[in-house]
């Protein structure tokens, strides 16, 4: 069974926050870990804590929910916007919202949104590949490698390096393009700069930042971001 979803409620109205917290508290497998009254507070909380889902009000003084979403890091939680105006949903999806609910919140609709979040967070981060071998475009031509032999891949800001059988291969492909080709059952995006084959990981070493160093059988140590570490624990069925 997956660990409870850690949910942060963000709304400038205290009454709206209380309603959201009450409704969320009635949903199995949900833990409300905090509440914020502004977008600024939400960003600070996200930087300091492990959050799976943010229930984020769209209209707030100062930094709006849309502004806050745009300022979140790439390694961000699942965002459910809350709005009293349906037309705001279009703008919400433009900035990368995962879902939205209308205010005043209704229990059934909130349950649906939370279940969607749970399914999203518990699924592999990419689809299963159609072929067991990976075609890697390198400067020396196309190299065919069995996916099971790939231990990890990293991006240095310019090029992606794929590591397989002790060999490092540079490719012009992006990490996202590589992720789309890989087997979702074994590979995990652990950082915006790294993908790891969990079958090659022998140890997860905690870091002061709340993430891990994933140590592979081949001796590599790959950084796992804090949010990715949270996903990994969910995937491995580990409670926090």
Looking at the structure of the chain, the number of domains it has is 2
* Closest by Cα among 24, 43, 76, 8 to 231: 76
Mean per-residue pLDDT of the chain: 88
Dihedral-angle region of residue 71 (phi above 0 means left; psi in -120 to 50 means alpha; beta otherwise): alpha
**Residue 90, pLDDT score:** 62
Tens of pLDDT, residues 91-136:
666 666 788 899 999 999 999 999 999 888 876 554 444 467 888 8
Which pLDDT score, from 0 to 100, does residue 166 have? 86
* Residues whose CB is less than 8 angstroms from the CB of residue 45 and which lie 6 or more positions away in sequence, other chains included: 8, 34, 36, 51
49 and 105 in one domain?
A: yes
pLDDT at 1: 57
150 and 227 housed in the same domain: yes
Residues 115 and 139 in one domain: no
| Element holding 12 (H helix, E strand) | none
Does any domain span residue 99? yes
Closest among 12, 33, 34 to 103, alpha carbons compared: 12
Q: Would you say residue 128 lies in a domain? A: no
What local confidence, expressed as pLDDT, does residue 89 receive?
63
pLDDT at 201: 95
Closest CA to 50 of 37, 63, 25, 31: 31
Q: What pLDDT score does 209 carry?
A: 83
CATH of the domain at 199: 2.40.50.1020
Which residue ranges in the chain fall short of pLDDT 70? 1-2, 74, 88-96, 123-131, 184, 239-240
């Amino acid at each position: 069974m997956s660990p409870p979803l850690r949910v942060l409620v963000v709304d400038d109205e205290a009454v709206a926050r209380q309603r959201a917290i009450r409704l969320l508290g009635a949903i199995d497998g949900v833990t409300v870990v905090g509440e914020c009254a502004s977008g600024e507070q939400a960003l600070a909380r996200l930087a300091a804590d492990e959050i799976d889902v943010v229930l984020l009000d769209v209209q707030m003084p100062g930094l709006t929910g849309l502004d806050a979403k745009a300022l979140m890091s790439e390694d961000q939680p699942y965002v459910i916007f809350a709005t009293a105006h349906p037309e705001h949903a279009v703008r919400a999806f433009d900035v990368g919202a995962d879902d939205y609910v209308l205010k005043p919140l209704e229990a059934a609709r909130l349950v649906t949104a939370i279940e969607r979040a749970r399914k999203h967070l518990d699924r592999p981060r990419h689809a299963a590949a159609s072929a067991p071998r990976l075609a890697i475009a390198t400067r020396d031509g196309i190299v065919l490698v069995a996916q099971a032999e790939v231990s990890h891949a990293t991006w240095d800001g310019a090029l992606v390096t794929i590591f397989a059988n002790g060999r490092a291969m540079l490719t012009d492909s992006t990490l996202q393009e590589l992720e789309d080709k890989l087997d979702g059952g074994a590979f995990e995006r652990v950082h915006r700069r790294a993908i790891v084959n969990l079958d090659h990981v022998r140890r997860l070493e905690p870091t002061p930042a709340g993430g891990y160093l994933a140590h592979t059988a081949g001796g590599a140590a790959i950084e796992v971001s804090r949010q990715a570490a949270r996903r990994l624990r969910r995937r491995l069925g580990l409670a926090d």
